[in-house]
Amino acid sequence: MIDTLKDTLSKVNEWVKFAEAKNAANIAFCSTAIFSLMRMVSGEDCLNGFLLYYSIGVIVCFSLSLIISLFSFVPKLEAPWLHIGSRDEKDNVLYFGHACKYSAASYLDKLYSGEPHKSKNHDLEIAYSNQIVVNSKVAFIKFKQFDLALWFTITAILSPIGTLIVAAMRSSK
Protein backbone atom coordinates (compact mmCIF):
# COMPACT_ATOMS: atom_id res chain seq x y z
CA MET A 1 0.00 0.00 0.00
CA ILE A 2 2.89 2.36 0.73
CA ASP A 3 4.03 2.16 -2.89
CA THR A 4 0.54 3.04 -4.11
CA LEU A 5 0.42 6.02 -1.76
CA LYS A 6 3.89 7.19 -2.80
CA ASP A 7 2.95 6.94 -6.48
CA THR A 8 -0.33 8.77 -5.92
CA LEU A 9 1.40 11.54 -3.98
CA SER A 10 3.94 11.91 -6.78
CA LYS A 11 1.17 12.24 -9.36
CA VAL A 12 -0.75 14.77 -7.26
CA ASN A 13 2.44 16.81 -6.89
CA GLU A 14 2.81 16.77 -10.68
CA TRP A 15 -0.75 18.13 -10.99
CA VAL A 16 0.15 20.96 -8.60
CA LYS A 17 3.18 21.80 -10.74
CA PHE A 18 1.06 21.68 -13.90
CA ALA A 19 -1.55 24.02 -12.40
CA GLU A 20 1.21 26.44 -11.41
CA ALA A 21 2.71 26.29 -14.90
CA LYS A 22 -0.67 27.08 -16.46
CA ASN A 23 -1.14 30.05 -14.15
CA ALA A 24 2.40 31.26 -14.86
CA ALA A 25 1.75 31.07 -18.61
CA ASN A 26 -1.44 33.08 -18.15
CA ILE A 27 0.47 35.68 -16.13
CA ALA A 28 3.07 36.01 -18.89
CA PHE A 29 0.40 36.27 -21.61
CA CYS A 30 -1.75 38.81 -19.74
CA SER A 31 1.26 40.91 -18.75
CA THR A 32 2.39 41.10 -22.36
CA ALA A 33 -1.11 41.94 -23.56
CA ILE A 34 -1.56 44.66 -20.92
CA PHE A 35 1.84 46.17 -21.72
CA SER A 36 1.09 46.17 -25.46
CA LEU A 37 -2.36 47.68 -25.04
CA MET A 38 -1.07 50.33 -22.64
CA ARG A 39 1.55 51.37 -25.17
CA MET A 40 -1.10 51.52 -27.88
CA VAL A 41 -3.49 53.58 -25.74
CA SER A 42 -0.82 56.00 -24.53
CA GLY A 43 0.86 56.37 -27.91
CA GLU A 44 1.03 59.55 -29.95
CA ASP A 45 -1.78 58.45 -32.23
CA CYS A 46 -4.71 59.15 -30.00
CA LEU A 47 -7.53 56.64 -30.32
CA ASN A 48 -11.07 57.86 -30.79
CA GLY A 49 -13.29 57.78 -27.70
CA PHE A 50 -14.94 54.43 -28.41
CA LEU A 51 -11.67 52.59 -29.07
CA LEU A 52 -10.07 54.14 -26.02
CA TYR A 53 -12.86 52.99 -23.68
CA TYR A 54 -13.00 49.64 -25.42
CA SER A 55 -9.24 49.16 -24.99
CA ILE A 56 -9.53 50.07 -21.32
CA GLY A 57 -12.24 47.39 -20.94
CA VAL A 58 -9.97 44.80 -22.53
CA ILE A 59 -7.11 45.90 -20.26
CA VAL A 60 -9.39 45.48 -17.24
CA CYS A 61 -10.26 41.90 -18.32
CA PHE A 62 -6.58 41.03 -18.79
CA SER A 63 -5.76 42.67 -15.45
CA LEU A 64 -8.42 40.67 -13.59
CA SER A 65 -7.11 37.48 -15.18
CA LEU A 66 -3.56 38.42 -14.21
CA ILE A 67 -4.54 39.13 -10.59
CA ILE A 68 -6.46 35.86 -10.24
CA SER A 69 -3.50 33.90 -11.61
CA LEU A 70 -1.12 35.75 -9.30
CA PHE A 71 -3.27 34.86 -6.29
CA SER A 72 -3.02 31.19 -7.27
CA PHE A 73 0.58 31.30 -6.04
CA VAL A 74 -0.52 32.21 -2.53
CA PRO A 75 -0.67 28.86 -0.71
CA LYS A 76 -4.11 28.08 0.62
CA LEU A 77 -5.99 24.99 1.69
CA GLU A 78 -9.41 26.58 1.88
CA ALA A 79 -11.22 28.77 -0.58
CA PRO A 80 -14.47 30.09 0.88
CA TRP A 81 -15.72 30.97 -2.59
CA LEU A 82 -15.17 27.42 -3.87
CA HIS A 83 -17.32 24.38 -3.17
CA ILE A 84 -15.22 21.21 -3.37
CA GLY A 85 -18.21 18.90 -3.43
CA SER A 86 -19.29 15.94 -1.39
CA ARG A 87 -18.02 12.39 -1.38
CA ASP A 88 -19.51 9.87 -3.75
CA GLU A 89 -19.27 6.10 -4.03
CA LYS A 90 -17.98 6.54 -7.58
CA ASP A 91 -15.09 8.81 -6.54
CA ASN A 92 -11.74 7.91 -8.06
CA VAL A 93 -9.22 8.15 -5.21
CA LEU A 94 -6.38 8.59 -7.70
CA TYR A 95 -7.90 11.81 -9.11
CA PHE A 96 -6.99 14.93 -7.14
CA GLY A 97 -10.43 16.46 -7.77
CA HIS A 98 -12.00 13.59 -5.85
CA ALA A 99 -9.22 12.98 -3.31
CA CYS A 100 -9.55 16.53 -1.98
CA LYS A 101 -13.01 15.68 -0.59
CA TYR A 102 -11.63 13.26 2.00
CA SER A 103 -9.81 13.35 5.31
CA ALA A 104 -6.63 11.29 5.63
CA ALA A 105 -8.42 8.44 7.41
CA SER A 106 -11.44 8.39 5.09
CA TYR A 107 -9.13 8.54 2.06
CA LEU A 108 -7.21 5.53 3.32
CA ASP A 109 -10.47 3.75 4.10
CA LYS A 110 -11.70 4.43 0.55
CA LEU A 111 -8.40 3.17 -0.83
CA TYR A 112 -8.86 -0.07 1.10
CA SER A 113 -12.41 -0.23 -0.33
CA GLY A 114 -13.93 -0.03 3.13
CA GLU A 115 -12.37 -3.31 4.28
CA PRO A 116 -10.88 -3.40 7.78
CA HIS A 117 -7.16 -2.74 7.78
CA LYS A 118 -4.43 -2.07 10.27
CA SER A 119 -1.02 -2.63 8.79
CA LYS A 120 2.25 -2.24 10.65
CA ASN A 121 2.81 0.93 8.58
CA HIS A 122 -0.56 2.46 9.46
CA ASP A 123 0.90 5.73 10.79
CA LEU A 124 2.98 6.15 7.65
CA GLU A 125 -0.05 5.37 5.48
CA ILE A 126 -2.04 8.04 7.33
CA ALA A 127 0.80 10.53 6.82
CA TYR A 128 0.91 9.82 3.07
CA SER A 129 -2.89 9.97 2.87
CA ASN A 130 -2.91 13.32 4.63
CA GLN A 131 -0.32 14.74 2.26
CA ILE A 132 -2.27 13.42 -0.76
CA VAL A 133 -5.47 15.05 0.49
CA VAL A 134 -3.76 18.37 1.29
CA ASN A 135 -1.92 18.55 -2.03
CA SER A 136 -5.10 17.54 -3.86
CA LYS A 137 -6.88 20.53 -2.30
CA VAL A 138 -4.04 22.80 -3.38
CA ALA A 139 -4.16 21.47 -6.95
CA PHE A 140 -7.96 21.71 -7.08
CA ILE A 141 -7.97 25.33 -5.93
CA LYS A 142 -5.17 26.29 -8.35
CA PHE A 143 -7.01 24.70 -11.29
CA LYS A 144 -10.27 26.45 -10.37
CA GLN A 145 -8.45 29.78 -10.17
CA PHE A 146 -6.94 29.12 -13.58
CA ASP A 147 -10.41 28.33 -14.97
CA LEU A 148 -11.74 31.65 -13.70
CA ALA A 149 -8.71 33.59 -14.94
CA LEU A 150 -9.03 31.91 -18.33
CA TRP A 151 -12.61 33.17 -18.70
CA PHE A 152 -11.39 36.75 -18.30
CA THR A 153 -8.55 36.13 -20.76
CA ILE A 154 -10.93 34.61 -23.32
CA THR A 155 -13.34 37.51 -22.85
CA ALA A 156 -10.52 39.98 -23.49
CA ILE A 157 -9.37 38.08 -26.59
CA LEU A 158 -12.77 37.37 -28.13
CA SER A 159 -14.40 40.74 -27.47
CA PRO A 160 -12.46 42.49 -30.28
CA ILE A 161 -13.46 39.72 -32.67
CA GLY A 162 -17.10 40.12 -31.67
CA THR A 163 -16.86 43.88 -32.07
CA LEU A 164 -15.37 43.51 -35.55
CA ILE A 165 -18.18 41.16 -36.57
CA VAL A 166 -20.83 43.59 -35.30
CA ALA A 167 -19.08 46.51 -37.03
CA ALA A 168 -18.89 44.56 -40.30
CA MET A 169 -22.57 43.67 -40.10
CA ARG A 170 -23.54 47.29 -39.40
CA SER A 171 -21.43 48.66 -42.24
CA SER A 172 -22.91 46.21 -44.76
CA LYS A 173 -26.42 47.58 -44.22
d(CA 68, CA 152): 9
Q: Return per-residue pLDDT of the chain as tens, 173 residues.
A: 778 888 888 988 999 999 999 999 999 999 999 998 888 877 766 666 677 778 888 899 999 999 999 998 887 777 766 667 777 778 788 778 788 888 887 888 888 776 666 778 778 888 888 888 889 889 988 999 999 999 999 998 888 777 667 667 777 66
Q: What are phi and psi of 74, to 5 degrees?
A: -85, 120
d(CA 149, CA 113): 37
Instruction: Please give the full DSSP string across 145-158, using - where no structure is assigned.
Output: HHHHHHHHHHHHHH
Q: 133-159, pLDDT tens digit by residue?
A: 889 889 988 999 999 999 999 998 888
User: Which pTM was predicted?
Assistant: 0.79
d(CA 36, CA 52): 14
Among 65, 89, 64, smallest CA distance to 146 is for 65
d(CA 71, CA 60): 16
Among 20, 23, 24, smallest CA distance to 135 is for 20
Assess contact for 94 and 171: CB atoms under 8 A: no
